[in-house]
Structure 1
Protein backbone atom coordinates (compact mmCIF):
# COMPACT_ATOMS: atom_id res chain seq x y z
CA UNK A 1 0.00 0.00 0.00
CA UNK A 2 1.40 3.38 -1.03
CA UNK A 3 2.03 5.56 2.02
CA UNK A 4 1.36 8.69 -0.03
CA UNK A 5 -1.40 8.79 -2.64
CA UNK A 6 -0.93 11.26 -5.49
CA UNK A 7 -3.39 12.28 -8.19
CA UNK A 8 -3.67 15.29 -10.50
CA UNK A 9 -7.12 16.40 -11.60
CA UNK A 10 -8.36 19.72 -13.04
CA UNK A 11 -5.08 21.44 -12.25
CA UNK A 12 -5.01 20.24 -8.63
CA UNK A 13 -2.46 17.87 -7.14
CA UNK A 14 -4.18 15.77 -4.48
CA UNK A 15 -1.73 14.43 -1.90
CA UNK A 16 -3.19 12.01 0.65
CA UNK A 17 -1.22 10.83 3.67
CA UNK A 18 -2.01 7.13 3.67
CA UNK A 19 -1.15 5.23 6.85
CA UNK A 20 -4.67 5.35 8.33
CA UNK A 21 -3.96 2.54 10.81
CA UNK A 22 -1.28 4.83 12.33
CA UNK A 23 -3.35 8.04 12.02
CA UNK A 24 -1.03 8.81 9.10
CA UNK A 25 2.03 9.16 11.33
CA UNK A 26 5.22 9.53 9.30
CA UNK A 27 7.98 6.99 9.07
CA UNK A 28 11.07 7.53 6.97
CA UNK A 29 9.81 5.97 3.76
CA UNK A 30 6.58 7.97 3.94
CA UNK A 31 8.45 11.25 4.56
CA UNK A 32 10.80 10.67 1.62
CA UNK A 33 7.85 9.80 -0.63
CA UNK A 34 6.08 12.98 0.50
CA UNK A 35 9.13 14.98 -0.55
CA UNK A 36 9.09 13.24 -3.94
CA UNK A 37 5.43 14.13 -4.51
CA UNK A 38 5.95 17.75 -3.46
CA UNK A 39 8.80 17.99 -5.97
CA UNK A 40 6.40 16.66 -8.61
CA UNK A 41 4.06 19.57 -7.85
CA UNK A 42 6.50 21.96 -9.52
CA UNK A 43 4.88 20.91 -12.81
CA UNK A 44 3.35 23.96 -14.50
CA UNK A 45 0.13 22.03 -15.19
CA UNK A 46 -0.49 21.92 -11.43
CA UNK A 47 -2.04 25.15 -10.20
CA UNK A 48 -2.88 24.21 -6.61
CA UNK A 49 -1.90 21.50 -4.11
CA UNK A 50 -4.33 19.80 -1.72
CA UNK A 51 -2.97 17.83 1.24
CA UNK A 52 -5.25 15.67 3.37
CA UNK A 53 -5.21 12.42 5.36
CA UNK A 54 -6.78 9.02 4.77
CA UNK A 55 -9.18 7.63 7.35
CA UNK A 56 -10.08 9.39 10.58
CA UNK A 57 -6.95 11.49 11.10
CA UNK A 58 -4.92 14.06 9.22
CA UNK A 59 -1.53 13.22 10.71
CA UNK A 60 -0.30 12.17 14.15
CA UNK A 61 3.22 13.43 13.44
CA UNK A 62 6.24 11.17 13.73
CA UNK A 63 5.75 7.44 14.20
CA UNK A 64 7.34 6.97 17.63
CA UNK A 65 8.01 3.30 16.99
CA UNK A 66 10.57 4.40 14.42
CA UNK A 67 12.19 6.71 16.99
CA UNK A 68 12.63 3.78 19.39
CA UNK A 69 13.93 1.47 16.67
CA UNK A 70 17.72 1.07 17.10
CA UNK A 71 17.98 0.47 13.37
CA UNK A 72 15.93 3.57 12.52
CA UNK A 73 17.21 6.99 11.42
CA UNK A 74 17.45 8.42 14.95
CA UNK A 75 16.39 11.87 16.09
CA UNK A 76 19.57 13.40 14.67
CA UNK A 77 18.32 12.57 11.14
CA UNK A 78 14.53 12.67 11.39
CA UNK A 79 14.19 16.46 11.30
CA UNK A 80 17.05 17.24 8.94
CA UNK A 81 16.26 14.53 6.38
CA UNK A 82 12.53 13.88 6.81
CA UNK A 83 10.47 16.80 8.12
CA UNK A 84 12.47 19.95 7.41
CA UNK A 85 12.60 19.29 3.65
CA UNK A 86 8.81 18.82 3.60
CA UNK A 87 8.27 22.22 5.24
CA UNK A 88 10.73 23.90 2.88
CA UNK A 89 9.16 22.35 -0.21
CA UNK A 90 5.67 23.48 0.83
CA UNK A 91 6.91 27.01 1.37
CA UNK A 92 8.87 27.13 -1.89
CA UNK A 93 6.12 25.88 -4.19
CA UNK A 94 5.04 28.74 -6.45
CA UNK A 95 1.35 27.95 -6.10
CA UNK A 96 -1.17 27.70 -3.27
CA UNK A 97 -0.84 24.73 -0.94
CA UNK A 98 -3.99 23.91 1.04
CA UNK A 99 -4.12 21.61 4.05
CA UNK A 100 -7.53 19.97 4.31
CA UNK A 101 -7.42 18.72 7.90
CA UNK A 102 -9.95 15.91 8.13
CA UNK A 103 -9.20 14.80 11.70
CA UNK A 104 -6.59 15.10 14.41
CA UNK A 105 -3.39 16.93 13.46
CA UNK A 106 -0.81 16.41 16.18
CA UNK A 107 2.87 17.17 16.62
CA UNK A 108 4.66 17.47 13.29
CA UNK A 109 1.33 16.71 11.62
CA UNK A 110 -0.14 19.93 13.02
CA UNK A 111 2.88 21.92 11.93
CA UNK A 112 2.92 20.50 8.41
CA UNK A 113 -0.67 21.77 8.15
CA UNK A 114 0.29 25.20 9.51
CA UNK A 115 3.17 25.41 7.02
CA UNK A 116 0.62 25.29 4.20
CA UNK A 117 -0.64 28.54 2.72
CA UNK A 118 -4.26 28.01 3.77
CA UNK A 119 -5.72 25.53 6.25
CA UNK A 120 -9.34 24.36 6.19
CA UNK A 121 -10.63 21.72 8.56
CA UNK A 122 -13.44 19.37 9.35
CA UNK A 123 -15.29 20.98 12.27
CA UNK A 124 -14.56 17.82 14.30
CA UNK A 125 -10.81 18.05 13.62
CA UNK A 126 -8.32 19.18 16.24
CA UNK A 127 -4.78 20.53 16.48
CA UNK A 128 -2.33 19.51 19.20
CA UNK A 129 1.22 20.69 19.86
CA UNK A 130 1.85 17.34 21.51
CA UNK A 131 5.64 17.58 21.86
CA UNK A 132 5.86 18.61 25.52
CA UNK A 133 3.85 15.53 26.48
CA UNK A 134 6.88 13.40 25.61
CA UNK A 135 9.59 15.86 26.64
CA UNK A 136 10.30 17.43 23.24
CA UNK A 137 9.97 20.88 21.69
CA UNK A 138 7.74 21.73 18.70
CA UNK A 139 9.51 21.20 15.39
CA UNK A 140 8.64 21.16 11.67
CA UNK A 141 8.37 24.94 11.72
CA UNK A 142 5.89 25.09 14.60
CA UNK A 143 7.88 27.63 16.61
CA UNK A 144 8.01 29.81 13.49
CA UNK A 145 4.47 29.60 12.15
CA UNK A 146 2.27 29.32 15.23
CA UNK A 147 3.32 32.55 17.04
CA UNK A 148 2.99 34.45 13.77
CA UNK A 149 -0.54 33.12 13.34
CA UNK A 150 -1.95 33.47 16.86
CA UNK A 151 0.54 35.57 18.83
CA UNK A 152 3.33 34.83 21.29
CA UNK A 153 1.25 34.25 24.43
CA UNK A 154 -1.22 31.76 22.94
CA UNK A 155 1.52 29.94 21.07
CA UNK A 156 3.64 29.64 24.20
CA UNK A 157 0.77 28.25 26.25
CA UNK A 158 -0.36 25.77 23.60
CA UNK A 159 3.19 24.52 23.13
CA UNK A 160 3.98 24.22 26.82
CA UNK A 161 0.67 22.66 27.84
CA UNK A 162 -0.02 20.60 24.73
CA UNK A 163 -3.70 21.57 24.80
CA UNK A 164 -6.06 20.21 22.17
CA UNK A 165 -7.51 23.00 20.00
CA UNK A 166 -10.78 22.29 18.20
CA UNK A 167 -11.26 23.39 14.60
CA UNK A 168 -13.73 26.06 15.72
CA UNK A 169 -11.29 27.38 18.31
CA UNK A 170 -8.53 27.33 15.69
CA UNK A 171 -10.65 29.49 13.37
CA UNK A 172 -11.50 31.92 16.16
CA UNK A 173 -7.86 32.42 17.16
CA UNK A 174 -6.67 32.85 13.58
CA UNK A 175 -4.74 29.58 13.43
CA UNK A 176 -6.68 28.33 10.38
CA UNK A 177 -8.90 29.87 7.73
CA UNK A 178 -12.19 27.99 7.93
CA UNK A 179 -13.95 24.93 9.37
CA UNK A 180 -16.55 23.08 7.31
CA UNK A 181 -19.38 20.88 8.66
CA UNK A 182 -18.40 17.24 8.96
CA UNK A 183 -20.94 15.90 6.49
CA UNK A 184 -19.92 18.40 3.81
CA UNK A 185 -16.21 18.65 4.57
CA UNK A 186 -14.66 16.81 1.62
CA UNK A 187 -16.98 18.39 -0.94
CA UNK A 188 -16.57 21.90 0.48
CA UNK A 189 -12.79 21.58 0.76
CA UNK A 190 -12.47 20.38 -2.83
CA UNK A 191 -14.72 23.16 -4.11
CA UNK A 192 -12.53 25.63 -2.23
CA UNK A 193 -9.30 24.30 -3.71
CA UNK A 194 -10.83 24.21 -7.22
CA UNK A 195 -11.63 27.89 -6.84
CA UNK A 196 -7.95 28.56 -6.12
CA UNK A 197 -6.87 26.40 -9.06
CA UNK A 198 -9.06 28.49 -11.38
CA UNK A 199 -7.46 31.76 -10.30
CA UNK A 200 -4.39 33.53 -11.80
CA UNK A 201 -1.68 31.16 -10.57
CA UNK A 202 1.30 33.45 -11.02
CA UNK A 203 -0.40 36.27 -9.12
CA UNK A 204 -1.13 33.86 -6.26
CA UNK A 205 2.54 32.82 -6.26
CA UNK A 206 3.58 36.46 -6.02
CA UNK A 207 1.14 36.98 -3.13
CA UNK A 208 2.75 34.01 -1.37
CA UNK A 209 6.23 35.42 -1.99
CA UNK A 210 5.26 38.87 -0.73
CA UNK A 211 3.69 37.60 2.48
CA UNK A 212 6.63 35.35 3.24
CA UNK A 213 9.00 38.29 2.80
CA UNK A 214 6.86 40.53 5.01
CA UNK A 215 7.77 38.32 7.99
CA UNK A 216 11.30 39.77 8.07
CA UNK A 217 11.35 42.97 5.99
CA UNK A 218 10.70 46.56 7.01
CA UNK A 219 8.01 48.68 5.35
CA UNK A 220 10.29 50.29 2.75
CA UNK A 221 11.69 46.93 1.72
CA UNK A 222 8.18 45.55 1.45
CA UNK A 223 7.00 48.48 -0.67
CA UNK A 224 9.89 47.90 -3.05
CA UNK A 225 9.11 44.19 -3.28
CA UNK A 226 5.42 44.93 -3.95
CA UNK A 227 6.49 47.16 -6.84
CA UNK A 228 8.72 44.45 -8.33
CA UNK A 229 6.10 41.73 -7.99
CA UNK A 230 3.29 43.94 -9.26
CA UNK A 231 5.23 44.58 -12.48
CA UNK A 232 5.66 40.82 -12.90
CA UNK A 233 1.96 40.22 -12.29
CA UNK A 234 1.02 42.97 -14.75
CA UNK A 235 3.07 41.25 -17.46
CA UNK A 236 1.04 38.02 -17.29
CA UNK A 237 -1.66 36.94 -19.71
CA UNK A 238 -3.99 36.47 -16.75
CA UNK A 239 -3.75 40.17 -15.89
CA UNK A 240 -4.81 41.04 -19.43
CA UNK A 241 -7.66 38.53 -19.23
CA UNK A 242 -8.75 39.86 -15.85
CA UNK A 243 -8.89 43.45 -17.08
CA UNK A 244 -10.70 42.53 -20.30
CA UNK A 245 -13.23 40.43 -18.39
CA UNK A 246 -13.85 43.29 -15.97
CA UNK A 247 -14.44 45.77 -18.81
CA UNK A 248 -16.63 43.30 -20.69
CA UNK A 249 -18.57 42.40 -17.54
CA UNK A 250 -17.91 38.67 -17.81
CA UNK A 251 -16.28 36.00 -15.71
CA UNK A 252 -12.52 35.78 -16.45
CA UNK A 253 -11.01 32.53 -17.68
CA UNK A 254 -7.53 32.35 -16.20
CA UNK A 255 -4.96 29.93 -17.61
CA UNK A 256 -2.22 30.36 -15.00
CA UNK A 257 0.07 32.15 -17.46
Structure 2
Protein backbone atom coordinates (compact mmCIF):
# COMPACT_ATOMS: atom_id res chain seq x y z
CA UNK A 1 0.00 0.00 0.00
CA UNK A 2 1.42 3.36 -1.01
CA UNK A 3 0.62 6.64 0.75
CA UNK A 4 1.70 10.13 -0.32
CA UNK A 5 4.55 11.48 1.78
CA UNK A 6 4.20 14.96 3.27
CA UNK A 7 7.86 15.86 3.28
CA UNK A 8 11.09 14.88 5.00
CA UNK A 9 12.91 16.96 7.58
CA UNK A 10 15.52 16.50 10.29
CA UNK A 11 14.10 15.55 13.66
CA UNK A 12 15.04 18.65 15.56
CA UNK A 13 16.05 21.38 13.11
CA UNK A 14 16.27 22.56 9.53
CA UNK A 15 19.54 20.97 8.39
CA UNK A 16 19.95 17.36 7.30
CA UNK A 17 20.59 15.23 10.35
CA UNK A 18 21.37 11.79 11.66
CA UNK A 19 17.66 11.11 12.14
CA UNK A 20 15.06 11.92 9.50
CA UNK A 21 11.42 12.65 10.21
CA UNK A 22 8.78 12.26 7.50
CA UNK A 23 4.99 12.47 7.61
CA UNK A 24 3.13 9.91 5.54
CA UNK A 25 -0.46 10.86 6.21
CA UNK A 26 -1.26 9.90 9.81
CA UNK A 27 2.03 8.00 10.19
CA UNK A 28 5.38 9.49 11.15
CA UNK A 29 8.33 7.70 9.56
CA UNK A 30 11.52 8.09 11.59
CA UNK A 31 14.73 6.88 9.94
CA UNK A 32 18.15 6.56 11.50
CA UNK A 33 20.52 8.20 9.05
CA UNK A 34 24.17 7.31 9.65
CA UNK A 35 24.40 4.76 6.83
CA UNK A 36 28.20 5.03 6.54
CA UNK A 37 28.39 3.65 10.11
CA UNK A 38 25.45 1.22 9.83
CA UNK A 39 23.42 3.72 11.88
CA UNK A 40 25.57 3.01 14.93
CA UNK A 41 24.78 5.08 18.00
CA UNK A 42 26.98 8.09 18.75
CA UNK A 43 26.55 11.30 20.68
CA UNK A 44 24.35 12.85 17.99
CA UNK A 45 22.00 10.01 17.03
CA UNK A 46 20.30 9.41 20.38
CA UNK A 47 19.23 13.01 21.08
CA UNK A 48 17.98 13.31 17.50
CA UNK A 49 15.94 10.13 17.87
CA UNK A 50 14.50 11.39 21.15
CA UNK A 51 13.57 14.66 19.42
CA UNK A 52 11.86 12.79 16.58
CA UNK A 53 9.76 10.69 18.94
CA UNK A 54 8.75 13.77 20.91
CA UNK A 55 7.80 15.49 17.67
CA UNK A 56 5.58 12.55 16.69
CA UNK A 57 3.84 12.79 20.05
CA UNK A 58 3.39 16.56 19.75
CA UNK A 59 1.94 16.21 16.25
CA UNK A 60 -0.48 13.55 17.54
CA UNK A 61 0.19 11.16 14.68
CA UNK A 62 -1.66 7.88 14.66
CA UNK A 63 1.40 5.64 14.46
CA UNK A 64 5.16 5.71 14.00
CA UNK A 65 7.48 3.61 11.85
CA UNK A 66 11.10 3.40 13.01
CA UNK A 67 13.56 2.35 10.30
CA UNK A 68 17.18 2.75 9.22
CA UNK A 69 18.85 4.09 6.09
CA UNK A 70 21.48 2.11 4.21
CA UNK A 71 22.50 -1.48 4.93
CA UNK A 72 21.32 -1.80 8.53
CA UNK A 73 18.72 -0.78 11.06
CA UNK A 74 21.24 0.02 13.80
CA UNK A 75 24.49 -1.82 14.53
CA UNK A 76 24.69 -0.77 18.19
CA UNK A 77 27.06 1.70 19.78
CA UNK A 78 29.72 3.12 17.50
CA UNK A 79 32.68 1.59 19.32
CA UNK A 80 35.12 2.64 16.60
CA UNK A 81 34.58 6.22 17.70
CA UNK A 82 37.09 7.47 20.25
CA UNK A 83 35.27 7.20 23.59
CA UNK A 84 34.56 10.50 25.28
CA UNK A 85 36.18 11.24 28.61
CA UNK A 86 33.24 11.36 31.01
CA UNK A 87 32.60 11.76 34.68
CA UNK A 88 30.25 9.18 36.25
CA UNK A 89 27.49 11.80 36.22
CA UNK A 90 28.01 12.44 32.50
CA UNK A 91 27.96 8.71 31.83
CA UNK A 92 24.71 8.38 33.76
CA UNK A 93 23.15 11.24 31.79
CA UNK A 94 24.18 9.63 28.49
CA UNK A 95 22.76 6.26 29.50
CA UNK A 96 19.50 7.79 30.66
CA UNK A 97 19.17 9.61 27.34
CA UNK A 98 19.46 6.27 25.54
CA UNK A 99 16.81 4.86 27.86
CA UNK A 100 14.54 7.81 27.07
CA UNK A 101 13.98 6.19 23.67
CA UNK A 102 12.36 3.21 25.40
CA UNK A 103 10.27 5.47 27.63
CA UNK A 104 9.00 7.55 24.72
CA UNK A 105 8.10 4.52 22.61
CA UNK A 106 6.30 2.78 25.46
CA UNK A 107 4.40 5.96 26.40
CA UNK A 108 3.48 6.94 22.85
CA UNK A 109 -0.34 6.64 22.64
CA UNK A 110 -0.36 4.87 19.27
CA UNK A 111 1.52 1.92 17.81
CA UNK A 112 5.22 2.17 17.05
CA UNK A 113 6.34 -0.28 14.36
CA UNK A 114 10.01 -1.12 13.84
CA UNK A 115 11.15 -1.97 10.30
CA UNK A 116 14.40 -3.89 10.72
CA UNK A 117 16.94 -4.96 8.13
CA UNK A 118 20.63 -5.77 8.29
CA UNK A 119 22.09 -5.52 11.78
CA UNK A 120 20.07 -4.77 14.91
CA UNK A 121 22.73 -5.24 17.57
CA UNK A 122 23.04 -4.02 21.15
CA UNK A 123 21.33 -0.64 21.40
CA UNK A 124 19.94 -1.25 17.92
CA UNK A 125 18.16 -4.40 19.09
CA UNK A 126 16.92 -2.48 22.12
CA UNK A 127 15.52 0.31 19.95
CA UNK A 128 13.66 -2.25 17.85
CA UNK A 129 12.36 -4.48 20.63
CA UNK A 130 10.90 -1.67 22.72
CA UNK A 131 8.49 -1.04 19.81
CA UNK A 132 4.97 -2.45 19.74
CA UNK A 133 5.42 -4.44 16.54
CA UNK A 134 8.67 -5.48 14.86
CA UNK A 135 8.78 -6.35 11.16
CA UNK A 136 12.14 -7.89 10.25
CA UNK A 137 13.71 -8.81 6.95
CA UNK A 138 14.31 -12.55 6.86
CA UNK A 139 18.07 -12.04 6.74
CA UNK A 140 18.19 -9.34 9.44
CA UNK A 141 20.55 -10.11 12.32
CA UNK A 142 19.63 -9.48 15.95
CA UNK A 143 22.15 -9.81 18.75
CA UNK A 144 23.22 -8.66 22.21
CA UNK A 145 27.04 -8.60 22.24
CA UNK A 146 27.37 -6.44 25.38
CA UNK A 147 28.56 -9.15 27.77
CA UNK A 148 31.28 -10.26 25.37
CA UNK A 149 32.78 -6.77 25.20
CA UNK A 150 32.52 -5.92 28.88
CA UNK A 151 29.37 -3.80 28.68
CA UNK A 152 25.84 -4.05 30.06
CA UNK A 153 22.42 -3.92 28.42
CA UNK A 154 20.20 -0.85 28.65
CA UNK A 155 16.83 0.24 27.26
CA UNK A 156 14.75 -1.98 29.56
CA UNK A 157 15.74 -5.06 27.61
CA UNK A 158 16.27 -7.05 30.82
CA UNK A 159 12.48 -6.99 31.20
CA UNK A 160 11.38 -6.80 27.57
CA UNK A 161 13.51 -9.68 26.27
CA UNK A 162 12.27 -12.40 28.64
CA UNK A 163 8.72 -11.12 28.15
CA UNK A 164 9.13 -11.78 24.43
CA UNK A 165 11.03 -15.08 24.35
CA UNK A 166 11.01 -16.49 27.91
CA UNK A 167 13.74 -16.62 30.56
CA UNK A 168 15.73 -19.54 29.17
CA UNK A 169 16.04 -18.11 25.67
CA UNK A 170 16.66 -14.58 26.99
CA UNK A 171 19.58 -15.77 29.11
CA UNK A 172 21.04 -17.65 26.16
CA UNK A 173 20.79 -14.58 23.93
CA UNK A 174 22.37 -12.25 26.49
CA UNK A 175 25.07 -14.55 27.87
CA UNK A 176 26.26 -15.94 24.53
CA UNK A 177 25.64 -12.89 22.36
CA UNK A 178 24.99 -15.01 19.27
CA UNK A 179 23.14 -13.52 16.32
CA UNK A 180 19.71 -14.73 15.20
CA UNK A 181 18.21 -14.01 11.80
CA UNK A 182 14.89 -12.34 11.21
CA UNK A 183 13.38 -15.71 10.35
CA UNK A 184 14.71 -17.24 13.58
CA UNK A 185 13.58 -14.20 15.55
CA UNK A 186 10.02 -14.58 14.28
CA UNK A 187 10.01 -18.30 15.10
CA UNK A 188 10.99 -17.65 18.75
CA UNK A 189 8.59 -14.71 19.19
CA UNK A 190 11.30 -12.06 19.32
CA UNK A 191 9.61 -10.17 16.45
CA UNK A 192 6.07 -10.15 15.09
CA UNK A 193 6.89 -11.25 11.56
CA UNK A 194 9.72 -11.90 9.13
CA UNK A 195 9.27 -10.75 5.55
CA UNK A 196 11.26 -11.10 2.32
CA UNK A 197 14.38 -8.97 2.23
CA UNK A 198 13.69 -5.49 0.89
CA UNK A 199 10.00 -5.43 1.86
CA UNK A 200 10.40 -4.75 5.60
CA UNK A 201 9.67 -1.02 5.44
CA UNK A 202 6.77 -1.38 3.02
CA UNK A 203 5.14 -3.99 5.27
CA UNK A 204 5.78 -1.94 8.42
CA UNK A 205 4.29 1.18 6.82
CA UNK A 206 1.21 -0.72 5.69
CA UNK A 207 0.70 -2.12 9.21
CA UNK A 208 1.17 1.33 10.73
CA UNK A 209 -1.42 2.88 8.41
CA UNK A 210 -3.89 0.09 9.13
CA UNK A 211 -3.45 0.61 12.88
CA UNK A 212 -3.59 4.41 12.60
CA UNK A 213 -6.92 4.13 10.76
CA UNK A 214 -8.54 2.40 13.73
CA UNK A 215 -10.29 4.37 16.53
CA UNK A 216 -7.55 6.24 18.40
CA UNK A 217 -8.81 5.78 21.95
CA UNK A 218 -9.51 2.05 21.72
CA UNK A 219 -6.16 1.48 19.98
CA UNK A 220 -4.33 3.40 22.71
CA UNK A 221 -6.16 1.55 25.47
CA UNK A 222 -5.42 -1.81 23.84
CA UNK A 223 -1.71 -0.95 23.74
CA UNK A 224 -1.80 0.22 27.35
CA UNK A 225 -3.58 -2.83 28.73
CA UNK A 226 -1.30 -5.24 26.89
CA UNK A 227 1.80 -3.39 28.13
CA UNK A 228 0.66 -2.78 31.70
CA UNK A 229 2.15 -5.87 33.34
CA UNK A 230 5.50 -5.52 31.55
CA UNK A 231 5.82 -1.75 31.85
CA UNK A 232 5.31 -1.89 35.60
CA UNK A 233 8.70 -3.67 35.67
CA UNK A 234 10.45 -1.66 32.95
CA UNK A 235 11.16 1.43 35.06
CA UNK A 236 12.84 -0.67 37.74
CA UNK A 237 14.84 -2.45 35.07
CA UNK A 238 15.96 0.85 33.57
CA UNK A 239 17.29 2.03 36.93
CA UNK A 240 19.13 -1.25 37.56
CA UNK A 241 20.58 -1.25 34.04
CA UNK A 242 22.05 2.21 34.54
CA UNK A 243 23.78 1.08 37.73
CA UNK A 244 25.17 -2.00 36.00
CA UNK A 245 26.30 0.03 32.99
CA UNK A 246 28.11 2.44 35.30
CA UNK A 247 29.87 -0.49 36.98
CA UNK A 248 31.05 -1.91 33.65
CA UNK A 249 32.22 1.51 32.47
CA UNK A 250 34.34 1.86 35.62
CA UNK A 251 35.64 -1.71 35.62
CA UNK A 252 37.93 -1.39 32.60
CA UNK A 253 36.55 -4.62 31.10
CA UNK A 254 35.13 -2.68 28.17
CA UNK A 255 38.64 -2.42 26.73
CA UNK A 256 38.12 -5.83 25.08
CA UNK A 257 38.12 -6.03 21.24
CA UNK A 258 34.81 -4.72 19.95
CA UNK A 259 34.81 -5.03 16.18
CA UNK A 260 31.95 -7.53 16.18
CA UNK A 261 29.72 -5.18 18.17
CA UNK A 262 28.99 -2.77 15.37
CA UNK A 263 29.33 -5.24 12.53
CA UNK A 264 31.00 -2.45 10.59
Length-normalised TM-score, structure 2? 0.77
Q: What is the aligned-residue RMSD (CA, Å)?
A: 1.9
Q: Give yes or no for the alignment of 1:32 onto 2:43.
A: no
Aligned pair partner of 1:178 in 193, 210, 216: 193
- For residues 157 and 6 of structure 1, the distance between their equivalents in structure 2, rounded to whole angstroms, comes to 36
The SS at the match of 1:176 is coil
Aligned pair partner of 1:130 in 145, 166, 171: 145
1:69 deviation in Å?
2.8
Quick one: higher RCO (CA 8 Å, sep 6+), 1 or 2?
2
Aligned pair partner of 2:223 in 208, 218, 223: 208
- For residues 216 and 134 of structure 1, the distance between their equivalents in structure 2, rounded to whole angstroms, comes to 28
Q: Give yes or no for the alignment of 1:164 onto 2:166.
A: no
Contact 1:11–1:47 under 8 Å retained in 2: yes
Could you list the runs of 5+ residues in structure 2 that have no partner in the other structure? Answer: 1-15, 233-264
More helix by share: 1
Which residue does the alignment assign to 1:93?
108
Q: Give yes or no for the alignment of 1:188 onto 2:183.
A: no
- For residues 76 and 90 of structure 2, the distance between their equivalents in structure 1, rounded to whole angstroms, comes to 15
Which residue does the alignment assign to 1:77?
93
Which residue does the alignment assign to 2:253?
none
Which residue does the alignment assign to 2:63?
48
- For residues 78 and 44 of structure 1, the distance between their equivalents in structure 2, rounded to whole angstroms, comes to 26
Contact 2:65–2:204 under 8 Å retained in 1: no
Number of residue equivalences: 216
Q: Deviations over 1:58-117 (max 9, x none)?
A: 00122224562337996433212x211111011111010011102210001101110001
Aligned pair partner of 2:155 in 129, 140, 163: 140
Contact 2:114–2:204 under 8 Å retained in 1: no
The SS at the match of 1:130 is coil
1:44 deviation in Å?
5.2
1:33 deviation in Å?
1.2
Q: Deviations over 1:159-213 (max 9, x none)?
A: 0000101111111111110011114333222222221121122211101111121
- For residues 224 and 127 of structure 2, the distance between their equivalents in structure 1, rounded to whole angstroms, comes to 18
